[in-house]
Amino acid sequence: VEPYRIKVVEPLPVTSWNQRLAALDRVGYNLMGLASDEVTIDLLTDSGTGALSAQQLSHAITGDESYAGSRSYRHFVDVAVDLTSYPFVFPVPQGRVAERVLFSALVSPGRITLSNAHFETTRANVWLNGGQAIDLPCPELADLASSFPFKGDIDTARLKEILFGSEGDRVAAVIMTITNNTGGGQPVAMSNLRTTAELCNERGVPLILDAARFAENAWLVGQNDAQHWGRTPREIAQEAFTLADGCVLSAKKDGLAHIGGLLGLRDPALARRCELILIATTGYSNYGGLAGRDLDMVARGLVEVTDPRYLRSRAEDAAYLADLVRAAGVRMVEPPGLHALYLDAGALLPHIPPSQFPGQALACELYLEAGIRSTEVGSFNLGDEGDHGHVVSHELLRLAIPRRVYTRAHLAYVGRAIARIADRADQVTGLRIVEQPPMLRGFTARLQRVAD
Ligand code: F0G
């Protein structure tokens, strides 16, 4: 059972089919445009959408709002240093701010970053500093059905080739995203992280963890790698941080917070440069653009999240929904991770070509069917020429599961909606873009049904 009981509730919005049809028309078949009270179950993202614990919420009162040297800041530092082992830890408003600050110091024109998979903001921040972000996913990831447990791994053979080849001098950093969000929420094995760390060390290139979902990665390592059986998720997570030279971390995921993030570094010179950028652009390093109460909530969240009972229940939620999806005959990225399921919209809607965005068409159908909001991860969001060379190999639909928010009854409702759509999949029509910005079109582009 869920290792908590519910103390605060809010009503679930309910809409009619006709209201949803009108809403889709109004927002140009882009679910980012919906008002949240038009959405019954919101699986758009697991970022900043979780429920706070009573203890986190108590910090709304006890948070220390002093500009410098606050109790809340010391609390944040104590927890962050204990978790990561990095001597320099800075609070930031969210993950992408840590990326911007770090890459301003680390990436310059002509440099490259290598990763198992850069998240979209990570890629954009490398690019904004004149660099190029290159993904090196492991070959197993290409086969959605493969049950290989660590499909988030980086391809260490390719990594070695580049680090020690003619381009080696251009590499500014290696970024390991744990878990690999754009790659189906798949975890990275500890052995893969260790090999990567050794290669980086040998070449003198910093290894940075994008640790937004560090606890979920640790849970999956503990479950699927016999070498780590019997260890706590916290011990495994601590080891992962120890292997790297620093981290960028969005606390809106495994920080169990609504806002916040962390930049952690070992190198004093790099930390000093980052601190300057942080102070000039975001806030003094004792609060990093956050309120004192946020620092406390993040600190508390970073402790609660490695509770094995919480992580087990979260894994079971994802497994429960995955069983319903499989029973409906819908394929997804296997094995399911914790934060989201990635349905194979391309396989479910083979009559819709990638140029008509099967993932986005399925997202709109799921909204129309049951008021469920999700995100496309395919040609619509990633295939944008303006977004600098992301290779789109699959047309996926991500159902992200907010932390501590929905019960299994809510998930059963989602499963039933998917089964109904699967029954009439051949009637779902494709979409075409009628308006789009030069990059990041997933946020603002407008679409139409091709039949209209
Ligand atoms: N890294 C990863 C792996 C992420 O998934 C995200 C955000 C970020 C960095 C950026 O962090 O949002 O705090 O600035 N992912 C969200 C998502 C938006 O829906 O997957 P942020």
Contact 14, 371 (CB under 8 A): yes
Question: Nearest C-alpha to atom 19 of ligand 1 is from which residue?
Answer: 45
Atom of ligand 1 nearest to the CA of 210: 1
Atom of ligand 1 nearest to the CA of 96: 14
Task: Please tell me the distance between residue 450's alpha carbon and the centre of ligand 1 in angstroms.
Answer: 31
Atom of ligand 1 nearest to the CA of 45: 19
Atom of ligand 1 nearest to the CA of 375: 19
Distance of CA 219 to the CA centre of its chain: 16
Tens digits of per-residue pLDDT, 284-333? 999 999 999 999 999 999 999 999 999 999 999 999 999 999 999 999 99
pLDDT score recorded for residue 440:
81
Phi-psi category of residue 127: left, alpha or beta, with phi > 0 → left and psi -120 to 50 → alpha: alpha
Distances (CA, A) of 359 to 13, 273, 281: 24, 42, 37
| pTM confidence score | 0.96
Q: Computed from CA positions of residues 274, 278, 280, 281, in that sequence, does the dihedral angle turn out positive or negative?
A: positive
Question: Nearest C-alpha to atom 20 of ligand 1 is from which residue?
Answer: 45
Buried b (16+ CB within 10 A) or exposed e, 189-198: bbebbebbbe
Contact 390, 123 (CB under 8 A): yes
Atom of ligand 1 nearest to the CA of 180: 3
pLDDT score recorded for residue 452:
63
pLDDT score recorded for residue 246:
98
Task: Please tell me the distance between residue 235's alpha carbon and the centre of ligand 1 in angstroms.
Answer: 24
Task: Please tell me the distance between residue 262's alpha carbon and the centre of ligand 1 in angstroms.
Answer: 13
Task: Please tell me the distance between residue 281's alpha carbon and the centre of ligand 1 in angstroms.
Answer: 20
Contact 250, 95 (CB under 8 A): yes
Contact 196, 141 (CB under 8 A): no
Pocket test for ligand 1, best of 32, 92, 96, 182 (most atoms within 8 A of CB): 96
Pocket test for ligand 1, best of 46, 181, 262, 397 (most atoms within 8 A of CB): 181
Task: Please tell me the distance between residue 175's alpha carbon and the centre of ligand 1 in angstroms.
Answer: 14
Tens digits of per-residue pLDDT, 144-188? 999 999 999 999 999 999 999 999 999 999 999 999 998 789 999
The segments of the chain whose pLDDT lies below 70 read 385-391, 452
Q: How many CA atoms lie within 13 A of 333 on its CB side?
A: 31
pLDDT score recorded for residue 182:
83
Question: Nearest C-alpha to atom 9 of ligand 1 is from which residue?
Answer: 95
Question: Nearest C-alpha to atom 12 of ligand 1 is from which residue?
Answer: 95
Q: Is the peptide bond before 179 cis (omega within 30 degrees of 0)?
A: yes
Task: Please tell me the distance between residue 250's alpha carbon and the centre of ligand 1 in angstroms.
Answer: 6
Which pair of tokens denotes residue 450?
């091709």
Distances (CA, A) of 209 to 82, 246, 284, 340, 352: 16, 6, 24, 20, 37
pLDDT score recorded for residue 444:
93
The binding-site residues of ligand 1, defined as CB within 6 angstroms of any ligand atom, are 45, 47, 94-96, 119, 121-122, 177, 181, 210, 212, 250, 252, 261
Number of C-beta neighbours around residue 11 at 10 A:
6
Pocket test for ligand 1, best of 121, 214, 248 (most atoms within 8 A of CB): 121
